[in-house]
Amino acid sequence: MNPTLDEIIANFELLDDWDDRYRYLIELGKGLQPLPEEAHNDANKVRGCASQVWLVSSTEGAGADARLDFAGDSDAHIVRGLVALALAIYSGRTAHEILETDAFAIYETLGLAAHLTPQRSNGVRAMIDRIKADARAASAG
Protein backbone atom coordinates (compact mmCIF):
# COMPACT_ATOMS: atom_id res chain seq x y z
CA MET A 1 0.00 0.00 0.00
CA ASN A 2 1.46 3.32 -1.07
CA PRO A 3 1.45 6.18 1.45
CA THR A 4 -1.20 8.88 1.19
CA LEU A 5 -0.31 12.41 0.21
CA ASP A 6 -0.69 13.52 3.85
CA GLU A 7 1.74 10.79 4.96
CA ILE A 8 4.24 11.82 2.28
CA ILE A 9 4.04 15.48 3.34
CA ALA A 10 4.46 14.52 7.02
CA ASN A 11 7.48 12.34 6.19
CA PHE A 12 9.06 15.12 4.11
CA GLU A 13 8.67 17.50 7.07
CA LEU A 14 10.59 15.05 9.27
CA LEU A 15 13.54 15.00 6.88
CA ASP A 16 15.77 18.07 7.10
CA ASP A 17 18.56 16.90 4.83
CA TRP A 18 18.02 16.89 1.05
CA ASP A 19 19.96 13.67 0.64
CA ASP A 20 17.44 12.04 2.98
CA ARG A 21 14.54 13.57 1.03
CA TYR A 22 15.96 12.24 -2.24
CA ARG A 23 16.38 8.80 -0.65
CA TYR A 24 12.75 8.99 0.51
CA LEU A 25 11.62 9.90 -3.04
CA ILE A 26 13.53 6.89 -4.37
CA GLU A 27 11.83 4.68 -1.75
CA LEU A 28 8.43 6.03 -2.85
CA GLY A 29 9.29 5.04 -6.40
CA LYS A 30 10.32 1.54 -5.32
CA GLY A 31 6.86 1.17 -3.75
CA LEU A 32 5.04 1.70 -7.07
CA GLN A 33 3.22 -1.30 -8.46
CA PRO A 34 5.13 -2.40 -11.55
CA LEU A 35 3.42 -1.67 -14.84
CA PRO A 36 2.90 -4.68 -17.08
CA GLU A 37 5.51 -4.80 -19.84
CA GLU A 38 2.85 -4.16 -22.52
CA ALA A 39 2.01 -0.83 -20.80
CA HIS A 40 5.52 0.42 -21.58
CA ASN A 41 4.34 1.53 -25.01
CA ASP A 42 4.33 4.68 -27.10
CA ALA A 43 0.71 5.56 -26.30
CA ASN A 44 1.43 5.63 -22.54
CA LYS A 45 4.76 7.43 -22.84
CA VAL A 46 4.79 10.98 -21.45
CA ARG A 47 6.33 13.42 -23.91
CA GLY A 48 8.62 16.12 -22.55
CA CYS A 49 10.40 14.01 -19.93
CA ALA A 50 14.16 13.53 -20.21
CA SER A 51 13.77 10.13 -18.54
CA GLN A 52 11.27 7.66 -19.87
CA VAL A 53 7.92 7.95 -18.08
CA TRP A 54 4.78 5.96 -18.74
CA LEU A 55 1.32 6.78 -17.37
CA VAL A 56 -1.80 4.63 -17.62
CA SER A 57 -5.20 5.92 -16.58
CA SER A 58 -8.50 4.19 -16.01
CA THR A 59 -11.79 5.98 -15.58
CA GLU A 60 -14.94 5.00 -13.73
CA GLY A 61 -18.03 7.03 -14.54
CA ALA A 62 -18.30 10.11 -16.71
CA GLY A 63 -18.40 13.87 -16.44
CA ALA A 64 -16.91 15.95 -13.62
CA ASP A 65 -17.61 13.13 -11.14
CA ALA A 66 -15.70 10.52 -13.16
CA ARG A 67 -13.09 8.92 -10.91
CA LEU A 68 -9.63 8.38 -12.39
CA ASP A 69 -6.96 5.97 -11.26
CA PHE A 70 -3.41 6.22 -12.50
CA ALA A 71 -0.46 3.87 -12.66
CA GLY A 72 2.99 4.90 -13.76
CA ASP A 73 6.60 3.98 -14.14
CA SER A 74 9.96 5.47 -15.07
CA ASP A 75 13.41 4.18 -15.94
CA ALA A 76 15.02 6.63 -13.47
CA HIS A 77 14.86 6.17 -9.67
CA ILE A 78 14.17 9.75 -8.60
CA VAL A 79 11.72 10.28 -11.46
CA ARG A 80 9.92 7.09 -10.42
CA GLY A 81 9.57 8.73 -6.99
CA LEU A 82 8.15 11.86 -8.62
CA VAL A 83 5.68 9.61 -10.47
CA ALA A 84 4.69 8.05 -7.11
CA LEU A 85 4.15 11.54 -5.68
CA ALA A 86 1.97 12.58 -8.65
CA LEU A 87 -0.09 9.40 -8.24
CA ALA A 88 -0.54 10.14 -4.52
CA ILE A 89 -1.81 13.62 -5.46
CA TYR A 90 -4.17 12.61 -8.26
CA SER A 91 -5.04 8.91 -8.36
CA GLY A 92 -8.50 7.96 -7.08
CA ARG A 93 -9.86 11.51 -7.40
CA THR A 94 -12.66 12.84 -9.56
CA ALA A 95 -11.98 14.67 -12.81
CA HIS A 96 -13.17 17.88 -11.14
CA GLU A 97 -10.79 17.42 -8.16
CA ILE A 98 -7.88 16.67 -10.49
CA LEU A 99 -8.49 19.80 -12.54
CA GLU A 100 -8.78 21.92 -9.37
CA THR A 101 -5.64 20.54 -7.66
CA ASP A 102 -2.40 22.46 -8.09
CA ALA A 103 0.35 19.87 -7.83
CA PHE A 104 2.99 22.55 -8.28
CA ALA A 105 1.87 24.19 -5.03
CA ILE A 106 2.36 20.81 -3.30
CA TYR A 107 5.81 20.39 -4.89
CA GLU A 108 6.60 23.92 -3.69
CA THR A 109 5.42 23.10 -0.14
CA LEU A 110 7.70 20.06 -0.12
CA GLY A 111 10.61 22.18 -1.33
CA LEU A 112 10.95 20.05 -4.44
CA ALA A 113 10.45 22.88 -6.90
CA ALA A 114 13.69 24.52 -5.75
CA HIS A 115 15.66 21.25 -5.77
CA LEU A 116 14.70 19.80 -9.16
CA THR A 117 16.77 20.45 -12.24
CA PRO A 118 14.98 22.44 -14.95
CA GLN A 119 14.82 19.23 -17.02
CA ARG A 120 13.12 17.31 -14.20
CA SER A 121 10.76 20.23 -13.56
CA ASN A 122 9.75 20.12 -17.23
CA GLY A 123 9.18 16.39 -16.92
CA VAL A 124 6.98 16.86 -13.84
CA ARG A 125 5.01 19.53 -15.73
CA ALA A 126 4.57 17.16 -18.70
CA MET A 127 3.36 14.38 -16.40
CA ILE A 128 0.85 16.66 -14.64
CA ASP A 129 -0.32 18.07 -17.99
CA ARG A 130 -0.97 14.49 -19.16
CA ILE A 131 -2.94 13.67 -15.97
CA LYS A 132 -5.03 16.83 -16.34
CA ALA A 133 -5.63 16.10 -20.04
CA ASP A 134 -6.96 12.65 -19.09
CA ALA A 135 -9.20 14.31 -16.47
CA ARG A 136 -10.50 16.82 -19.05
CA ALA A 137 -11.25 13.97 -21.47
CA ALA A 138 -13.09 12.02 -18.75
CA SER A 139 -15.00 15.12 -17.73
CA ALA A 140 -16.10 15.78 -21.32
CA GLY A 141 -17.03 12.14 -21.89
* 61 is a catalytic site residue: no
CA distances from 66 to 57, 81, 98, 106, 136 (A): 12, 26, 10, 23, 10
CB atoms within 10 A of CB 62: 12
- Give the single-character DSSP code of 15: -
Of 49, 82, 83, 106, which residue is the catalytic one? Answer: 49
Could you give the residue numbers annotated as active site?
49
